Amino acid sequence: MKLATYIHDNQQRVGAVVDGRVFDLAAALQASGKGDPAQAASVLTLLAAGPRGLQEANAALTWAQTRGNELAHPLDQVKLCAPIPCPGKLLCLAGNYASHLLEGGGTFPGKEKMIPRFFSKPCTSVIGTQDAIRVPASTGFADWELELAVVIGKTGRNLSVAQAADHIGGYTIFNDISARELTFRKDLPMQEGDWFFDWLVGKWLDTFGPMGPWLTTADEVSRPDNLRMQLWYNGQLQQDANTGQMIFSPAEAIAFISQFVTLQPGDIISTGTPAGVGHTKKLRLNPGDQIRGEIEGLGVLENSVERLD
């Protein structure tokens, strides 16, 4: 299923996207009697309901499709939010494509000499498709990073790689917007550690985490290691790569991360970006810009850019 969080009649709902329509899953569960509508209160609660919850939602969706448009709305008549508007954990990999390491002036020593490096972004960074990325005055250079994001489907800790693969509930598109240059230190001397913490601050800003347009459940993504990913900046193709070029696979990253934190349904692991970011081309995000990211089979994530004064 393609699970969406959307707004209709000023109410936030959870739906399944099929052929340009979104079906209200809570209403479908209620009307069909196929399951408890409360489990479709959010995408997170639906994932937490486990395989049985998704099976019941699928059965309700099949039933709803026989009713025509009775429980559905055209996608252009709803507001799509991020599929999980406020994930419990939003963890991102840094330097997970050799091409991105090299374009930034770094080196690729080989996978056997590396470990996955990850950082977190707050849920206040998360926005949905068609929402605006708002660049504050403190940001001298804002940039894009198209990424495949993995959504955790069940709780796990200290997972093996094989176990980690079984904990993936679905996939979505993520754009790790980054402030490459911050301006608030211009009159201050640098101290030890400032560069690293400024790098983190550049990841944490509000609206710097576009996500969507929906969550595609794992059963519909047969080859997550072979998905074409492309990003356009004002109509010009800037990133064009394949998820198979990752250094660490999603399962390997999840297994590593699970040594340190308990992963829960709805947590999101974003798996890094390939070459083609704006900084190496001296292309920054400016007011009025349009960003379009697409990953094969997962939809299209589109965002405009505004200045936040």
Q: Is 298 found in the same domain as 165?
A: yes
Examine the fold and report which residue of 80, 104, 134 is the final residue of a domain before the chain moves on: 80
| Per-residue tokens: 274 | 């390939």
DSSP 137: T
- The verdict on 126 and 242 lying in the same domain is yes
| Local confidence band at 53 (pLDDT 50, 70, 90 cut-offs) | very high
Residue 25: how many CB atoms within 10 A of its CB?
29
Candidates 2, 297, 249, 274; CA nearest to 116 is 249
Q: Is residue 282 part of a domain?
A: yes
Q: pLDDT at position 299, please?
A: 98
Whether residue 85 lies inside any domain: the answer is no
Residue 111 lies in a domain: yes
Q: Which residues of 103-137 are buried (b: 16+ CB within 10 A; e: fewer)?
A: beeeeeeeeeeeebebeebebebbbbbebebbbbe
Q: pLDDT confidence of 186, banded at 50, 70, 90?
A: confident
33: domain range?
2-80
Q: Are residues 126 and 72 in the same domain?
A: no
Q: 72-130: per-residue pLDDT in tens?
A: 999 999 999 999 999 999 999 999 999 999 999 999 999 999 999 999 999 999 999 99
Q: Residues 275-297: pLDDT tens digits?
A: 999 999 999 999 999 999 999 99
**Distance (Å, rounded) from C-alpha 159 to C-alpha 156?**
7
- Domain count along the chain: 2
Same domain, yes or no, for 32 and 117? no
- Model confidence band, residue 136 (pLDDT cutoffs 50, 70, 90): very high
Task: Tell me if 132 is assigned to some domain.
Answer: yes
User: In terms of domains, do 69 and 110 share one?
Assistant: no
User: pLDDT value at position 188?
Assistant: 80
Q: 147 and 179 share a domain?
A: yes
For residue 204, what is the enclosing H or E element?
A: helix 194-204
206-241 pLDDT tens trace: 999 999 999 999 999 999 999 999 999 999 999 999
Are 207 and 236 part of one and the same domain? Answer: yes
Report yes or no on 150 lying in a domain.
yes
Please report whether residue 136 resides in a domain: yes
What is the rounded average pLDDT for all residues in the chain? 96
Boundary residue ending a domain (54, 80, 106): 80
Residues 163 and 209 in one domain: yes
Residue 298 maps to a domain: yes
The pTM for the full model equals 0.97
- CA distances for 74 relative to 69, 129, 156, angstroms: 9, 16, 37
Is the same domain home to 43 and 138?
A: no
Q: Could you tell me where the beta strands, DSSP code E, fall in the chain?
A: 2-8, 11-18, 21-24, 72-74, 79-80, 90-94, 117-120, 126-127, 132-136, 139-143, 146-152, 168-175, 178-182, 209-217, 228-233, 236-242, 268-270, 290-295, 299-308
Main-chain phi, psi angles of 55, to 5 degrees:
-65, -45
End-of-domain residue from the set 44, 59, 80: 80
Q: At what angle do helices 50-65 and 25-32 cross, to 10 degrees?
A: 80
265 in the same domain as 148: yes
Same domain, 237 and 98: yes
Looking at the fold, whether 105 and 184 belong to one and the same domain comes out as yes
**Residue 190 in this model has a pLDDT that exceeds 90:** no
Q: Would you state the pLDDT for residue 94?
A: 96
Q: Would 184 be classed as within a structural domain?
A: yes
